[in-house]
Amino acid sequence: MKCLKCGFENQPDSRFCLKCGELLALDESNSSLGNVSSGNNGSGLAIASMVCGIIGLVVCIVPIVQAISFILDVLSIIFGLISLVKKREGKGMAIAGVVCGGIALVLYLLVIGAAYSGASKFI
């Protein structure tokens, strides 16, 4: 195991550097934990975006739950854009989320618009 501080090659099972006394095991576990958590955060946002976008797309054509669609559409676009702007993992999913959210939002507005114009004809 190589020391991160001084570069001294230590025994694989040693916890402290023999040359400078730096903690070896802790450094490695910290960096690997950091990588895992940042990876999860990055793709998590893109996955959330895609899931919200797809659900929003399905829900926007169902009359009773249409109001939920608007929230999901906006969330999917926001999550997707944050993920893209911060260059996180899961770029494809983030784009899919923004596209689905955008289409769902347009559909939602068209449905609401049609409902209002349809209703106004009766008045």
Q: From 11-19, 59-67, 87-95, 113-121, give the range in contact with Zn ion by CB under 5 A.
A: 11-19
In the complex, minimum distance from the CB of residue 7 to Zn ion, in angstroms, rounded to a whole number:
7
Q: From 8-16, 31-39, 45-53, 70-78, give the range in contact with Zn ion by CB under 5 A.
A: 8-16
Give me the half-sphere count of Cα atoms (radius 13 Å) on the Cβ side of residue 72.
23
**CB proximity list for 65: less than 8 A, separation 6 or greater:** 59
Q: Does 24 bind Zn ion (CB under 5 A)?
A: no
Give the integer Cα–Cα distance in Å for 71 and 18. 58
Q: Where does this chain bind Zn ion (CB under 5 A)?
A: 3, 5-6, 8, 17, 19-20, 22
